[in-house]
């Protein structure tokens, strides 16, 4: 194991510098930059600073990963963020690591020799589950990929007492303890979540006490204002986590010596409490400790305080000189700029259904890419509730294909942490509806490339069975709802209508560099319309290229997924055929990006359009396409564009009811007639 500070001793000078730097920045922001209107979001770390500085001093392995929150500036300073960068970020200047795109305290930092500070989130509690992914990844790199440099590396997640009530905390706690992952939960308990006291967050106000009997969790609980006690406990907790025996949680009590943020007057605290909190400031205790232990003499300490203040003042001047970001760049970094090399060599393999096509592609890519991992509920021994991962655990082992705890927030958060660590996670969500608990992680994952100007990205492929099934539907297992994901920034969406496209699109997604949703329609998994010949182990389909299912000259139907076969059937039904043998059908194949050029070109040729999907009506993706056609090809239209979708009701269980709401062949044919007769 590489030598780490936790196994030696703390550098108290460096701890003191970090605390004093943080205090000096807080002071400048509060006294100068906020009053001048240069900083809007100001979060002081006063009171939290000493324990964070101690922690930061021993989180020093090059493969450590830290997930932090808005009060974590002292920790991040200890990891190498400069005071100048920090203040430039607070002022939204180009000199901050965010380049003005995000609030300065929503930290991230690529490793500067110590930990990687994973991109934080403004969502309280969202910092925890990515830490599971990082913790699992360091063990994967060491144990499976035999990279010894990862040995002893850990993940640490910093959070307040309020955050322990959030879903993400429990998602991470369960995953870390059930899998004995090297993750340290670092809980800074200041007794308040803004104004809400911690008895609302955990019964009896002490999360450590409540978790005392949690299996596989080592607990530390101490005063975080006493340098000796705090450092002893932090060092032990870090050392224990580095031993890879399992996760640890350390809870430290500290006062929040300022408002929650600058605008918070703390009117909810009594004058007595404010006095007690001030008397419990860790900084004078740190000074006393350093002098007593001969780290500084009193004279040296005083000189050191002035030296740090002078440094921070100089940093402020430089930060003030930092230019405003260039507005012409604001659209950059939404997606990866790296083109994906598309291999379209197509073989003529055996005929297979869509589900087998997915399974086979996963198998081929698992064999080719040792960094690819598949996980989710029931994907291991069972092979997935839809059978898409059958036998993959037997073939590739439990490190690469594994079950998870029942927490979609945890599954996607874990994938985010793994992606940051350099792996290619392929989580499965059992049914589209059950992605709902992961919304926060999905959203933060999609925006991270933009927020960090491509310093961080979390490419992954989320496989989601969706839509009505062969025999029936219902409100829980039959949702398609791709439109909601289309609204998520930074995500690509594939929605194949057959086995061949499934192979090609899945492979492109797995070799891509952006987070991608891969929809597997339940009515196509094992039905004739989904079956196609296997196109080979290298076959890829580019995103954003629609497939012309049938050519025509009188009307264009744009659709995707299971509606493709219905559109074909409708166009060939007596109504469709009598009126026009010439309906053009475009299968979009990917919703993001969607093939605008192909759609517009087709409509300029046919002059009539129907946009068809099974998602529910309001704001679904057909509306987006209609709006684009209206804006860009209005003069070519000979009839109003028709939209076809499910009305705004859930998918019913009863088949008769279900067929009454899903766009069916007859209904599509009727609309074809209407458009052609207009």
Ligand X SMILES: Cc1ncc(C[n+]2csc(CCOP(=O)(O)OP(=O)(O)O)c2C)c(N)n1
List active site positions: 477
What CA–CA distance (Å, rounded) separates 355 from 358? Answer: 5
Peptide bond just before 399 cis, omega within 30 deg:
no
C-alpha 652/C-alpha 662 separation (Å) is 10
Nearer to ligand X, 251 or 511 (CB): 251
CA atoms within 13 A on the CB side of 563: 30
Q: Least separation, in Å, of the C-beta of 166 and ligand X? A: 6
252 vs 224: CA distance, rounded Å: 5
Strand order of the sheet with strand 516-521? 401-403, 372-376, 424-428, 461-466, 516-521, 492-494, 590-592
- Closer of 182 and 193 to ligand X (Cβ): 193
Total residues belonging to the chain = 678
316 counts as binding ligand X under rule CB under 6 A? no
CB atoms within 10 A of CB 345: 10
Shortest Å distance, C-beta 123 to ligand X? 4
Give the binding range for ligand X (CB under 6 A) out of 116-124, 298-306, 454-462, 668-676.
Answer: 116-124
Q: Closer to ligand X at the Cβ: 192 or 375? A: 192
Q: CA–CA separation, 230 vs 251, rounded Å?
A: 10
Cβ(602)–Cβ(556) under 8 Å?
Answer: yes
What are all long-range contacts of 196-199, with beta carbons under 8 Å and residues at least 24 apart? 196/162, 198/161, 198/162
Is 71 an interacting residue with respect to ligand X (CB under 6 A)?
Answer: yes
225 phi and psi angles, rounded to 5 deg: -105, -10
Enumerate residues 153-212 that contact ligand X by CB under 6 A: 159-163, 190, 192-194
Stretch that binds ligand X, among 120-128, 275-283, 612-620, 628-636 (CB under 6 A): 120-128
Contact predicate 134/118, CB 8 Å: yes
Determine which residue in the list 80, 122, 542, 650 makes contact with ligand X, applying CB under 6 A: 122
Q: How far is the CB of 546 from ligand X (least distance, A)?
A: 38
CA distances from 430 to 15, 79, 463 (A): 47, 39, 8
Residue number with CB closer to ligand X (283 or 379): 283
- Footprint of ligand X on 207-266 (CB under 6 A): 256, 260
CB of 451 to ligand X, least distance (A): 15
Q: How far is the CB of 448 from ligand X (least distance, A)?
A: 17
Kindly give the pairing relationship between strand 583-587 and strand 547-550: antiparallel
CA distance 238 to 156: 9
CA–CA gap between residue 120 and residue 340 (Å, rounded): 28
Beta strands in 262-419 (DSSP E): 351-352, 372-376, 401-403
Give how many residues touch ligand X by CB under 6 A: 16
Question: Which DSSP state fits 520?
Answer: E
Shortest Cβ distance from residue 588 to ligand X (Å)?
34
CB-wise, 71 or 93, nearer to ligand X?
71
Query: Which member of 11, 30, 123, 666 binds ligand X (CB under 6 A)?
Result: 123
Residues 286, 228: contact at Cβ < 8 Å? no
Choices 12-20, 119-127, 534-542, 587-595 (CB under 6 A): range interacting with ligand X: 119-127
Crossing angle for the helix pair 563-571 and 665-677, to the nearest 10 degrees: 60
CB of 188 to ligand X, least distance (A): 6
Nearer to ligand X, 256 or 511 (CB): 256
Residues that bind ligand X (CB under 6 A): 71, 122-125, 159-163, 190, 192-194, 256, 260
């Amino acid at each position: 194991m590489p030598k780490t500070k936790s196994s030696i001793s703390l550098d108290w000078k460096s701890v003191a510098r970090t605390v004093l730097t943080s205090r000096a920045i807080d002071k400048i922001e509060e006294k100068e930059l906020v009053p001048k209107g240069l900083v809007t979001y100001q979060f002081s770390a006063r009171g939290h600073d000493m324990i964070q500085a101690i922690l930061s001093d021993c989180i020093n392995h090059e493969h450590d990963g830290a997930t932090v929150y808005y009060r974590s500036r002292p920790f991040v300073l200890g990891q190498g963020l400069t005071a100048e960068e920090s203040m430039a970020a607070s002022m939204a200047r180009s000199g901050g690591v965010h380049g003005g795109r995000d609030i300065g305290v929503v930290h991230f930092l690529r490793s500067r020799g110590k930990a990687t500070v994973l991109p934080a989130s403004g969502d309280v509690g969202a910092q925890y589950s990515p830490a599971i992914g990082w913790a699992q990844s360091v063990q994967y790199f060491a144990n499976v990929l035999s990279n010894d440099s990862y040995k002893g590396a850990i993940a640490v997640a910093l959070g307040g007492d309020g955050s322990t009530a959030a879903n993400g905390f429990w998602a991470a706690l369960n995953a870390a303890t059930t899998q004995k992952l090297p993750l340290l939960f670092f809980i800074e308990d200041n007794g308040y979540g803004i104004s809400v006291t911690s008895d609302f967050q955990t019964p009896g106000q002490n999360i450590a006490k409540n978790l005392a009997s949690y299996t596989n969790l080592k607990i530390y609980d101490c005063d975080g204002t006493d340098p000796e006690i705090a450092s002893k406990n932090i060092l032990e907790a870090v050392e224990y986590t580095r031993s890879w025996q399992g996760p640890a949680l350390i809870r430290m009590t500290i006062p929040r010596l300022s408002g929650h943020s600058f605008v918070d007057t703390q009117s909810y605290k009594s004058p007595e409490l404010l006095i007690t909190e001030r008397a419990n400031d860790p900084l004078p205790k740190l000074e006393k400790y350093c002098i007593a232990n001969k780290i500084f003499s009193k004279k040296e300490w005083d000189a050191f305080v002035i030296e740090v203040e002078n440094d921070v003042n100089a940093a402020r001047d430089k930060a003030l000189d930092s230019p405003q970001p260039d507005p012409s760049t604001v659209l950059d970094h939404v997606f990866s700029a790296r083109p994906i090399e598309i291999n379209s060599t197509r073989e003529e393999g055996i005929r297979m259904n869509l589900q087998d096509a997915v399974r086979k592609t996963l198998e081929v890519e698992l064999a080719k890419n040792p960094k690819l991992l598949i996980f989710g509920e029931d994907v291991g021994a069972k092979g997935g509730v839809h059978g898409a991962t059958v036998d993959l655990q037997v073939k590739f082992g439990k490190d690469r294909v594994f079950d998870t705890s029942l927490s979609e927030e945890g599954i996607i958060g874990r994938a985010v942490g793994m992606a940051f660590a350099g792996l290619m996670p392929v989580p499965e969500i059992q049914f589209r509806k059950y992605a709902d608990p992961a919304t926060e992680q999905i959203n933060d994952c999609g925006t991270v490339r933009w927020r960090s100007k491509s310093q961080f990205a979390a490419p992954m492929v989320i496989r989601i069975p969706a839509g009505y099934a062969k025999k029936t539907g219902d409100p829980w297992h039959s949702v398609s709802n791709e439109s909601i994901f289309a609204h998520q920034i930074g995500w690509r969406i594939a929605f194949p209508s057959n086995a061949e496209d499934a192979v090609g699109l899945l492979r492109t997604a797995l070799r891509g560099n952006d987070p991608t949703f891969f929809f597997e329609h339940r009515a196509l998994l094992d039905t004739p319309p989904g079956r196609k010949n296997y196109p080979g182990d290298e076959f890829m389909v580019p995103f954003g290229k629609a497939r012309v299912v049938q050519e025509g000259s009188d009307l264009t139907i744009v659709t995707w997924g299971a509606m493709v076969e219905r559109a074909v059937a409708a166009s060939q039904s007596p109504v469709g055929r009598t009126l026009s043998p010439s309906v053009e059908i475009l299968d979009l194949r990917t919703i993001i990006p969607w093939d605008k050029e192909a759609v517009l070109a087709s409509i300029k040729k046919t002059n009539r359009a129907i946009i068809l999907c099974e998602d529910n009506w309001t704001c679904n993706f057909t509306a987006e396409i209609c709006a684009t056609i209206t804006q860009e090809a209005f003069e070519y239209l000979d009839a109003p564009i028709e939209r076809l979708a499910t009305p705004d009701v859930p998918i019913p269980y009863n088949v008769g009811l279900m067929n009454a709401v899903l766009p069916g062949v007859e209904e599509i044919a009727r609309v074809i007639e209407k458009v052609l007769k207009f």
